[in-house]
Amino acid sequence: MSSTLPDRVSYAECSARERIARLFDAGSFREWLPPAMRVMSPHLAQLGVPAAFDDGVAIGEARLAERRVFVGAQEGEFMGGGVGEVHGAKLVGLFKRALRDRPDAVLLLAESGGVRLHEANAGLIAVSEVMRALLDTRAAGIPVIVLIGGANGCFGGMGIVARCADHLVISDIGRLAMSGPEVIEASHGVEEFDSRDRALVWRTTGGKHRFLVGDCDQLVEDDVQVFRAAAVRALDALRPLTLQSLQDEHAVLTQRLHAGEGAEDAVDLWQSLGIAHAGAVPDMNAEQVRTLRQESLA
Partner 1 sequence: MKWTDVATQLFGNGHEIRADGEFLSGSATFDGQAIAVVGSTNHAPIGYALALRQAKVVLETIDLHPGRAIFLLIDTQGQQLRRHDELLGINRAMAHLGCCIDLARRRGHRVIGLVYDQALSGGFITSGLIADACDALPEAEIRVMRIPAMARVTKLSEDVLTALSASNPVFAPGVQNYLRMGGVRALWQADLKAGLRDALTHAATDDRRAIDGRERGGRLLAAAVVEQVLAA
Q: Are the C-beta atoms of residues 200 and 177 closer than 8 Å to each other? A: no
Q: Is 128 in the site for partner 1 (CB under 8 A)?
A: yes
The backbone region for 144, taken as left when phi is positive above 0, alpha when psi lies in -120 to 50, beta otherwise, is: beta
Smallest CA-to-CA distance from 147 within 35, 95, 37, 72 is with 72
Q: Is 86 in the site for partner 1 (CB under 8 A)?
A: yes
Smallest separation (angstroms) from partner 1 to the CB of 246:
6
Closest to partner 1 by CB, 135 or 232: 135
Q: Is 178 in the site for partner 1 (CB under 8 A)?
A: yes
**DSSP letters along 165-190, please?**
SSEEEEETT-BB-SS-HHHHHHHH-T
* Bridge partners, residue 171, by sequence: 220
Q: Are the C-beta atoms of residues 107 and 16 closer than 8 Å to each other? A: no
When binding is defined by CB under 8 A, the residue of 73, 106, 148, 213 that contacts partner 1 is: 213
Q: Is 19 in the site for partner 1 (CB under 8 A)?
A: no
Q: Is 208 in the site for partner 1 (CB under 8 A)?
A: no
Q: Is 103 in the site for partner 1 (CB under 8 A)?
A: no
Q: Are the C-beta atoms of residues 215 and 1 closer than 8 Å to each other? A: no
Smallest separation (angstroms) from partner 1 to the CB of 229:
25
**Window 57 to 76, contacts with partner 1 (CB under 8 A):** 59
* Bridge partners, residue 219, by sequence: 170
Smallest separation (angstroms) from partner 1 to the CB of 230:
20
Closest to partner 1 by CB, 143 or 157: 157
Smallest separation (angstroms) from partner 1 to the CB of 150:
16
Q: Is 97 in the site for partner 1 (CB under 8 A)?
A: yes
Q: Note the residue count of the chain.
A: 298
Q: Is 104 in the site for partner 1 (CB under 8 A)?
A: no
d(CA 180, CA 156): 8
